[in-house]
Amino acid sequence: MASADVRHLGPGANQQGLRDHNARLLLSTLQRRGPMPASDLARLAGLSPQTVSVILRSLDADGLVARGEPQRGRIGKPSVPVSLAPDGAFAFGLKIGRRSADLLLVDFAGRLRGERHTTYRWPEPDEILRFLREGLGSLRQDLPEPWLDRIAGIGVAMPSEIWHWHETIGAPLGALDAWRGFDLVQAVGEFCDLPVLMANDGTAAARAEHIFGRGREFGAYAYFFVGSFIGGGIVLNHSVVEGPTGNAAAFGSLPAPGPGGRCRQLIETASLFLLEEAIRRADLPAERLWAQPQDWSVFGAILERWITHTAGEIARAAVTVCAVIDFEAVLVDGAMPAEVRTALVAQSRTALKRFDMRGLAPVRIEEGTIGAPARALGAAAAPLLARHLLDTHAGAPFA
């Protein structure tokens, strides 16, 4: 094989690089496992107590960790639990959806410090930029001046190639063409000096579940997020997989059977826009789907039929992806009330019984926990990862 065909494995780590890696390892371990004494942290990280002590002093000086009250009950000196300091870092997360946009300010612990929300018939770049600029200005005011330097950046989650879906979301032909070739990072840079990180919205939602939700229970799982369109993410070896083009887990493009034997995509058979269409045909207030707080009780039998149909589609997709990778679980979440998600997962488990799964390990469908904020929260997690945490957990003590 010619040397030009061999992939570069990346540079080695110098002493400073190792110190940075170890600091990120300790912060990531605290994030995944919660508060613990330095001795436990050293054992889990595979580092000497002296090394951990030095790193923690540095992180403490930077305001990234906090020390709890001494815990007595063991022989010897009382242990002091160490945790992430919520005020040690902040990030903005922007979700650009087909029907709404959300901007969140979150802290190092993933807690919501402020939010802004807007709805529209379809997204347009100028409107999104105006919403972001105004939101950044107002949300920054919620932080004390010395903490503004602790903002790690802005994460943005939006659908890939959004201009392809004008017909499905009811936009006029060409209404979304302004997104073609539009450089959102550059546009934001004209009024904000924070780093901007882009992500597919399904991948961002998966990252939120992985970092702040039930994803911590599993090392390898598929994740489905049911929004206006269905999308998803993949986690392998405790790491969210983005793929070489950032489009890993494009579950919405999975083939799905349609009327008359026509092949369709999952995005056309298991998305909230189908529920929206059914609600509009019944002359009910479809805007209630996107309003906050969410209350879908008015949709009654229409909602029940959508859940039953969508559950069957998700069950088929779950079997499909588990035939490719032996996932521990398939997590399902969405931009929907918690009780709707619970019903959808329950019926998806029932629908699994209709499929021939010879040759497969049992498929385990589990309920996600984040809900509608997942895409914006996952977007906000990206700058925190980039600045403070391990961006891959391969080999880290999180199992």
- pLDDT tens across 1-14, in order? 444 455 443 443 45
Q: Are residues 219 and 362 in the same domain?
A: yes
Looking at residue 76, which CATH number applies to its domain? 1.10.10.10
Q: Under a CB-based contact definition with an 8 Å cutoff, are residues 44 and 31 in contact?
A: no
In whole angstroms, give the CA distance from residue 157 to residue 206: 11
In whole angstroms, give the CA distance from residue 214 to residue 201: 18
- Amino acid (1-letter code) at residue 386: A
Sign of the alpha-carbon torsion through 370, 375, 379, 380 = negative
| Residue 103 covered by a domain | yes
Q: Are residues 140 and 271 in the same domain?
A: no
| Residue 4 covered by a domain | no
Please identify, among 54, 80, 106, the residue that sits at the C-terminal boundary of a domain.
80
How many CB atoms sit inside 10 A of residue 92's CB? 27
| Residue 1 covered by a domain | no
Q: Are residues 45 and 117 in the same domain?
A: no
| Residue 5 covered by a domain | no
Q: Are residues 98 and 175 in the same domain?
A: yes
In whole angstroms, give the CA distance from residue 399 to residue 389: 17
Q: Are residues 368 and 382 in the same domain?
A: no
Q: Are residues 313 and 226 in the same domain?
A: yes
Q: Are residues 186 and 212 in the same domain?
A: no
Number of domain units in the chain: 3
| Residue 129 covered by a domain | yes
Please identify, among 35, 54, 80, the residue that sits at the C-terminal boundary of a domain.
80
**Structure-block tokens of residue 70:** 């001494």
**Structure-block tokens of residue 195:** 């780093």
Q: Are residues 245 and 301 in the same domain?
A: yes
> What pLDDT score does 165 carry?
67
In whole angstroms, give the CA distance from residue 200 to residue 204: 6
Q: What is the pLDDT of residues 345-383, one digit of tens each?
A: 999 999 999 999 999 999 999 999 999 999 999 999 999
| Residue 9 covered by a domain | no
| Residue-wise burial string across 141-154, b where 16 or more C-beta atoms lie within 10 A, e elsewhere | eebeeebeebbbbb
Looking at residue 211, which CATH number applies to its domain? 3.30.420.40
Q: Are residues 117 and 23 in the same domain?
A: no
- How much is the pTM? 0.88
**Structure-block tokens of residue 382:** 């990206």
Q: Are residues 211 and 315 in the same domain?
A: yes
Q: Are residues 278 and 365 in the same domain?
A: yes
**Structure-block tokens of residue 102:** 């959300």
> What pLDDT score does 145 carry?
92
Domain extent at residue 33: 16-80
| Residue 355 covered by a domain | yes
Q: Are residues 220 and 179 in the same domain?
A: no
Please identify, among 29, 63, 80, the residue that sits at the C-terminal boundary of a domain.
80
Ranges in the chain, pLDDT < 50: 1-4, 7-13, 394-399
Residue 104: left (phi > 0), alpha (psi -120 to 50), or beta?
beta
| Residue 398 covered by a domain | no
